[in-house]
Amino acid sequence: MVEVDKILKDTLKNGDVKIGTKETKTAIKNDSAKLIVIANNCPNISEISELAKKKKIPVYSYSSNSINLGYICGKAFGVSVFAVINDGGANVLNLVKKR
């Protein structure tokens, strides 16, 4: 889990991400998302997963809740989902390959 958190933090710091359900859906529809990261308690998990599947965008299921994902994102609130547009060299796509 520590390795995953570090990779996600590096991606958020150096890359380009869209945080939140609305922005994630827009990134999926625009084909700009490279990876979707979803917390285990995301209320829209099935809808976002289906959208990503149709566009063949990989989905990473974060093993913790939105509060912890928000902390990783450096936010003082829960983040249930975000889209990675550019990983900033963090090789975040390797997370999906390892699973």
Domain definitions of the chain by residue range:
2-88
Whole-number average pLDDT of the chain? 92
The answer to whether residue 1 scores a pLDDT higher than 80 is no
Q: CA 41, 19, 49 angle in degrees (round to 5)?
A: 50
- pLDDT at site 89: 84
Burial track 55-90 (b if 16+ CB lie within 10 A, e otherwise)? eebbbbebeeebebbbbbbeeeebbbbbbbbebbeb
Q: At residue 2, does pLDDT exceed 80? A: no
pTM of structure: 0.92
| CATH T-level assignment (fold) for domain 2-88 | 60s Ribosomal Protein L30; Chain: A; (3.30.1330)
Band of pLDDT at residue 95, cut at 50, 70 and 90: confident
Q: What is the pLDDT of residues 10-42, one digit of tens each?
A: 999 999 999 999 999 999 999 999 999 999 999
Q: Of 53, 52, 55, 56, which is closest to residue 83 (Cα–Cα)?
A: 52
